[in-house]
Structure 1
Amino acid sequence: MANTNTDKLFGGDALGAYAMRDVESVAGMLQSGSISVIWSLAELQDFFGVTGDVAEIGVHHGRLFIMLCLAMNAGERAFGVDLFGDPPGANKDDHDQFLANLARFQIQPDHFDLAVQDSRTLIQGQWPGSAGNVRMVSVDGDHRLDAVLRDLALAAASLNEGGVIIADDLFNPWYPTVTEAIYEYFWDRPGDMEPVAFIAANGPVETGAAKLLIARAGFAARYKAGLKLLNQDDLKHCDAFAGYADVPSFYFAGQPSKRPLDAATAEILADIT
């Protein structure tokens, strides 16, 4: 395994503690099923030796942003962008709550950069400051079709070779244009980007929606194999999507069941990837 607990910026147990317990202290639309699979994704990146920064378009109060931060290794940085109102920054309460939530988890200003602006003003290939070296980026910004397409392109341009996009609000009835945009994104064959996994919603729409993980072709098969191993108890089936084969869907009939990436699963993972 490429990284050890001592490499983690906030300690080896911080991500697990947040995913299993502390996340409930932060308001936001991130459900337990997504938490389980994203936790596995972070572990798989450690196993595969994927390093780099993390980012989110649309941070709100930081429920997912904090999780991404707690997955960081020493020397990595988090980048966020959010309007926080119209005009940008007008909603001071949400902005202040975001910063307060980060501070509660010892995420200090020198660990992250926050852009209080519309993502339309960001330049593809220049955001974030480490564009081309991001390993996880969440897209949960403006839900209009053209905006989602723009944010997906912005996110893809930020990724390194092993990077993953976490696309939010797939199949969300509140925001049907997000699903439309994701289909259009893949119909246009976005370079080497491929769908990796569907994460079903497992709660009311007020608490979140389904997500889609997207990665480069060179890593897609490895991520699929790893997620099917670590989250096998919640694997519903694998099916084609938008012309791409064997995309696993994770569905949660009860509480999500995530297996640890321990010595036994690491040995299996090494054999199958």
Structure 2
Amino acid sequence: MITKQDVVAAYQLLLRRAPESEEAIDHWLERCAYPDELVNGILGSKEFEVGLYNRSTPTSSIRPSDEEIVARFGVYPEPDLVHWLRNLPAIEGMVLPSSAYISAALAQFQARNDYRGNIAEIGVYHGKYLAGLATSIRPGEKVIAVDLFEDQDQNEDVGGYSEAGFEAPLRALTQDVFAEVMSTYAPHAELLTIKRSSLNVTADELMPDGQRVRFFSVDGGHTHDVFLNDLRLAETTLAPYGIVSIDDILNPDWPGIITAAVRYFDGTTKLRPVAFIENKLLCAYESHADIYRTALRNIAPRSLRRRDVEFSNYTADEYVDGFDLYAFLRSLPL
């Protein structure tokens, strides 16, 4: 059982301050029985997300060189990337900060190692995740967004979203808002938007210039059949060194994703799980799976919880919402 002292310590560690009141302490004492529940509760709270900027205030006025930052964090402090990271709480969407940071850092790792290709996402919502991936874009590469936007009546998942309490935000989605987010946080990206169900999108449309996709985010339909359609589109269009990010992989609200993913990896596929990050599974072809595992361990060493956890016929590292993002931002000037 947790105690009042546990709550105070968790506030100091995670929020960098004392609890605001006895009522706040009582809230967590009533809600949580074990330390893990307390920590996960605070990490998942809006207060933790909004406090990102304050917790990331630099501890020193002496700025390390870019080379020192890359050596320490495995991430280059590219201005668009930093701008996006600092403003994550202001962008509508359900992407946890650690997943956003790790994914964008891997996309940057691809760019720094000359792994060329387009970046694609099915189910972009307001672009919170895609904008971060797009900060790594280089000349000749495209950012491809697939979403129904205002045409949610064509969404086969709309009933499920309604039951889960997510229908209202989905109905408020507009393509204009998405375009504004992309232009604000990824202003150098060449954007191709496909306003259509992914069930009616072909592989050729995701490779408009003949160039394959180096980072593909699958976050569209959450039913078994739609998810498998999207995952197969990703595998068909993926570059040999590409990464696939599967959203809601262990989310109990969407058992169709869990079922379909296990069946997919139980079958014949060249994709291999690389890492579980918060609410996502990152995958790559076997030839590059270990390369990305090593890169991730350099990018997010504080967040690595377990190595080689079982999933289907394979294993993947497990990452939790740690402090790598905040340590990175604290090393930079405001």
Please say if 1:76 is aligned against 2:141. Answer: yes
- The AA in structure 1 aligned to 2:122 is I
The equivalent residue for 2:194 is 115
Choose the corresponding residue for 2:175, options 79, 95, 120. Answer: 95
Does structure 1 retain, via aligned residues, the 8 Å contact 2:302–2:323?
no
Q: 1:68 Cα shift?
A: 1.7
Cα distance in structure 1, aligned partners of 2:178 and 2:111: 27
Instruction: Considering fraction of residues, name the structure with more helix.
Output: 2
Q: 1:197 Cα shift?
A: 0.6
Does structure 2 retain, via aligned residues, the 8 Å contact 1:195–1:212?
yes
Cα distance in structure 2, aligned partners of 1:132 and 1:157: 12
Choose the corresponding residue for 2:239, options 148, 160, 171. Answer: 160
Per-residue CA distance 1:87-116 (angstroms, 9 max, x = gap): 5699685222112222323637x8111011
Root-mean-square deviation over aligned CA pairs: 2.5
Describe the SS at the equivalent of 1:170. coil
The equivalent residue for 1:236 is 305
Describe the SS at the equivalent of 2:302. helix
- Indicate how the Cα distance of structure 1 residues 197 and 131 shifts in structure 2: closer, same or farther if over 3 A, else same: farther
The equivalent residue for 1:27 is 92
Choose the corresponding residue for 1:197, options 275, 289, 293. Answer: 275
Q: 1:242 Cα shift?
A: 1.2
Choose the corresponding residue for 1:211, options 269, 272, 280. Answer: 280
- Indicate how the Cα distance of structure 1 residues 60 and 224 shifts in structure 2: closer, same or farther if over 3 A, else same: same
The equivalent residue for 1:41 is 106
Cα distance in structure 2, aligned partners of 1:152 and 1:244: 18
Cα distance in structure 2, aligned partners of 1:224 and 1:46: 17
Choose the corresponding residue for 1:175, options 254, 262, 265. Answer: 254
Choose the corresponding residue for 2:80, options 1, 5, 14. Answer: 14
- Indicate how the Cα distance of structure 1 residues 82 and 128 shifts in structure 2: closer, same or farther if over 3 A, else same: farther
Unpaired segments ≥5 residues, structure 1: 6-10, 201-209, 261-273
- Indicate how the Cα distance of structure 1 residues 93 and 153 shifts in structure 2: closer, same or farther if over 3 A, else same: closer
Does structure 2 retain, via aligned residues, the 8 Å contact 1:194–1:215?
yes
Cα distance in structure 1, aligned partners of 2:283 and 2:173: 33
Cα distance in structure 1, aligned partners of 2:232 and 2:183: 31
Describe the SS at the equivalent of 2:203. coil
- Indicate how the Cα distance of structure 1 residues 259 and 130 shifts in structure 2: closer, same or farther if over 3 A, else same: farther
Deviates more, 1:117-126 or 1:226-235: 117-126
Q: 1:243 Cα shift?
A: 1.2
Q: 1:54 Cα shift?
A: 0.3
- The AA in structure 1 aligned to 2:313 is G
The equivalent residue for 1:188 is 267
Please say if 1:62 is aligned against 2:140. Answer: no
Cα distance in structure 1, aligned partners of 2:123 and 2:82: 23
Cα distance in structure 2, aligned partners of 1:153 and 1:22: 33
Describe the SS at the equivalent of 2:248. strand
- The AA in structure 2 aligned to 1:22 is N
Please say if 1:226 is aligned against 2:287. Answer: no
Per-residue CA distance 1:220-239 (angstroms, 9 max, x = gap): 11101111122111111112
Does structure 2 retain, via aligned residues, the 8 Å contact 1:196–1:212?
yes
| Aligned residues between the structures | 237
- Indicate how the Cα distance of structure 1 residues 218 and 130 shifts in structure 2: closer, same or farther if over 3 A, else same: farther
- Indicate how the Cα distance of structure 1 residues 104 and 229 shifts in structure 2: closer, same or farther if over 3 A, else same: closer
Cα distance in structure 2, aligned partners of 1:104 and 1:224: 31
Cα distance in structure 2, aligned partners of 1:140 and 1:96: 19
Cα distance in structure 1, aligned partners of 2:292 and 2:97: 20
- Indicate how the Cα distance of structure 1 residues 194 and 25 shifts in structure 2: closer, same or farther if over 3 A, else same: same
After the TM superposition, which parts of structure 1 deviate over 6 Å for at least 4 consecutive aligned residues?
Answer: none
Does structure 2 retain, via aligned residues, the 8 Å contact 1:233–1:257?
no
- Indicate how the Cα distance of structure 1 residues 188 and 42 shifts in structure 2: closer, same or farther if over 3 A, else same: same
Cα distance in structure 1, aligned partners of 2:247 and 2:297: 20
- Indicate how the Cα distance of structure 1 residues 55 and 222 shifts in structure 2: closer, same or farther if over 3 A, else same: same
The equivalent residue for 2:160 is none
Instruction: Considering fraction of residues, name the structure with more strand.
Output: 1
